[in-house]
Amino acid sequence: MDVGGDTRRRLVVIGHGPAGHRLVEALRERDTAGAWQITVIGEETRPAYDRVALTSYLTEDAELAFPAHGPGVRLHTGDPVTGIDRAARTVTTASGAVVGYDALVLATGSSPFVPPVPGRDLPGVFVYRTIDDLDALRAHCAARPDAGGVVVGGGLLGLEAARALQGLGVDTHVVEVAPWLMPRQLDEGGGAMLRRHIESLGLTVHAGTPMAGLEAGPDGGVARVRLSDGSAIESSVVVFSAGIRPRDELARGCGLPVGERGGIVVDATCRTADPAVWAVGECALVDGQVYGLVGPCFTMAEVVADRLLAEATGGPGQAAFGGADTSTKLKLMGVDVASFGDPFADRAEGTLGVTYTDPVGGVYKKLVVSDDARTLLGGVLVGDATTYPTLRAYVGAELPGSPEQTLFGGTEPAGGDLPGATVICSCNNVSAETIRCSIRDEGLTDVAAVKGCTRAGSSCGSCVPLVKKLLDAELVAAGIEVSKAICEHFEHSRAELFDIVRVRRITTFTQLINEHGRGRGCDICKPAVASILASLGNGHILDGEQAALQDTNDHFLANLQKNGTYSVVPRIPGGEITPDKLIVIGEVARDFGLYTKITGGQRIDLFGARVDQLPQIWKRLVDAGFESGHAYGKALRTVKSCVGSTWCRFGVQDSVAMAIRLELRYRGLRAPHKLKSAVSGCARECAEAQSKDFGVIATERGWNLYLAGNGGMRPRHADLFASDLDDETLIRYIDRFLMFYIRTADRLQRTASWLEGLDGGIDYLREVIVEDRLGICAELDAAMERHVAAYSDEWRDTLADPDKLRRFVSFVNAPTVPDPSIAFAPERDQIKPVLLAGPQLEVVSR
């Protein structure tokens, strides 16, 4: 291997994974004078790629390659280093090439740990580490379409492997030796909630049960997995993802110190016992710890780049690795999971643990705080991680409010309120002050520019919302208009995207992002665009590409519950129902063994339906005259009513008739968030109309209309919009209100917060809707008429479409087999899922 006659200092980097790639890029950015000649020697045949996104390669054929280094870097792949001569300062490769160095960086990464169990070498056993591993796994599964599979390891990578295996059509089991999933990141409560989510998606979890060994079948390949409790899992493919071991064999071979359990010993500058040799990434043992997260590995690479540049130029070189923030946020099979700080700090004396559990919503949250409840020490979020960026930023700092308020985002600060030393991006160790200074000094005006300048948000992306807040705060302070881009894939706000889709008659997400965005989209923009397309009457939400944009509830036209079953809510307009229809609901509940409950919106909810039972239940209900109540969608839910003047001696108007009229008019109307309404027949307000998105209260002369109220965690009374309206004027105003809200609101914004954000508030809204200040009332009226004319029941349409019905199975590869993990117990003459009771908020003092 010829490195030429270059007289510059010679740097050799062994390993071209993420850490090695980051080191080279960081050094190239800093080494403007070209003091270092860089040679990178990689073991794999391909250049560096994003290992964090391996599953997307398997499930989506995603392109994972990192950007090429460009000129000035010699990259040699597929020729691993076999030995290091520290005295001669040379490395030798498998091909026999000898390369000299002045500085050597070991970035050899790690290898998968495979427990020493019988059968580990059988055909059909894989690890989950490289693209080659995934290619082999895919080929094996393709040759065995009915294969059962086991993933050994319930950590982050193990669950990713399980997701990938399931995506290949394999009935997948996860075996984890610890009592719960992701034991290094989550506490027991968080692990239990994650397990419920995972099992609801069709995987089977065996936690607290070590594996005893693998057994071969008649063809010599693996056929079953034996567990320590004596049970067995039939499986023709096994994936080991039970942890990693540092690749330190080169260091051992040349006499460098390594840890008792592996890892190349380095100091705070990532330098080994040999001053000319450094180590970064998963192979390095820093202060007795090996880091398996990308953030700390990147930080090590930055430290070494700084030190190497100082060594070549005689500069100060003060960078050091002072530990790492191991906080992490990810989405596992559609489930938000996050941990920050020390999630296990509540095991120590003098701490408080504040936990919230909502099994129905699939949410678990925990904060660990000091005993005075002022300093945040750590926490766990499962099912809802919207507050993660702020919570992580406050680890070790004083909370902006009470733990309960902070847990639910009630005191989320503006970007300008965060202390300068707060680490915003733990992947790249970027503080709030660094971001602020970069924005000011470099004149940055968008998140993409901040990413490029500081690297904040360029790795896992979980800190991007907080980066956006910092950017907005700085721009506002400088008198610059703040971008309202919905995400990094679109430069437009949701309202602007709505108008683009409407005016240009765009019907697919692909067309929209190709013409007006960039990239492939994300969990922010995809559901928002799905809502826009549905609001504009783009057909059934499960038609074609639209189906892939929906969340779990919309995907199955039913509400997912904590044990993997679904609830079915037929529409009962105004709460009025005939005895015959009541009997049908009772018969359906009895025949399918469902739990029944009358909801707060005057409907009947049927709980406990398996996904494969949903079409059968809908058929019975549709035949009896029912339709979808859209309890699963960001759409109109109910229009609640009292009995009104028909029965009540205080009633002054027929509230039931009006509630039915409104509900049938607005049923199926998709919006940025759910919509609730109510009609009260007199001022006694029995239907609680003033807590609804739009509420109607009868008067002697007509109807009073109230807008933008909501209940929930942050209740808000609706504002009186207009008084003594006749029926037609009332409906016309509601039409315009809803269409204006749908057109202009942000994603997932309730009408209450939308109105609070309108410049001019209720008075401005009155000018738009009543006085037609913007000249759009005719458009709003026409849009609502199109919705009313185009309405079609989603349940009935699904029953009539064989392609749509194919998705309603518990197991893709066994359509007629019910999910065996679903279990119930009797309670009060009905069923209940065999899981935790809740929700509950608990404070525990240590």
Cα separation of 297 and 460, whole Å?
A: 13
The answer to whether 463 is annotated as binding is no
Query: CB of 179 within 8 A of CB of 206?
Result: no
The answer to whether 648 is annotated as binding is yes
Residue 26's Cβ-count burial label (10 Å; 0-12, 13-18, 19+) is: buried
The answer to whether 141 is annotated as binding is no
Phi, psi (deg, nearest 5) at residue 532: -60, -45
Query: CB of 172 within 8 A of CB of 165?
Result: yes
CB burial of 85-113 (b: ≥16 within 10 Å; e: otherwise) equals: ebeebbbebeeebebebbbbbbbbbbbbb
CA-to-CA separations, 415 to 378, 423, 431, 470, 830, in angstroms, rounded? 21, 13, 12, 4, 50
Query: CB of 706 within 8 A of CB of 695?
Result: yes
Q: Please name every residue paired with 490 in a beta bridge, in sequence order, or none if there are none.
A: 487, 517
The amino acid at residue 289 is: Q
Kindly report the three-state secondary structure assignment for every residue of 571-621: CCHHHCCCHHHHHHHHHHHHHHCCEEEECCCCCEEEEEECHHHHHHHHHHH
Kindly report the three-state secondary structure assignment for every residue of 241-269: CCCEEECCHHHHHCCCCECCCCCEEECCC
Query: CB of 771 within 8 A of CB of 722?
Result: no
**Cα-based angle 100, 110, 264 (whole degrees, multiple of 5):** 60
Query: CB of 624 within 8 A of CB of 581?
Result: yes
Residue with the two structure tokens 């956006």: 468
Cα separation of 280 and 297, whole Å?
A: 6
Q: Please name every residue paired with 149 in a beta bridge, in sequence order, or none if there are none.
A: 172, 237
Between helices 579-592 and 614-623, what is the axis angle to 10°?
Answer: 160
Residue with the two structure tokens 């080169």: 250
CB burial of 738-774 (b: ≥16 within 10 Å; e: otherwise) equals: bbbbbbbbbbbbbbbbbbeebeeebeebbebbeeeee
Residue 205's Cβ-count burial label (10 Å; 0-12, 13-18, 19+) is: buried
Structural Rg of the chain based on CA atoms = 30
Cα separation of 502 and 782, whole Å?
A: 13
43 three-class SS: coil
Pairing of strands 237-240, 125-127: parallel
The answer to whether 427 is annotated as binding is no
**Residues placed in the known binding site for siroheme:** 686
- List, as residue ranges, the binding site for [4Fe-4S] cluster: 642, 648, 682, 686
Q: Which residues are annotated as a binding site?
A: 642, 648, 682, 686
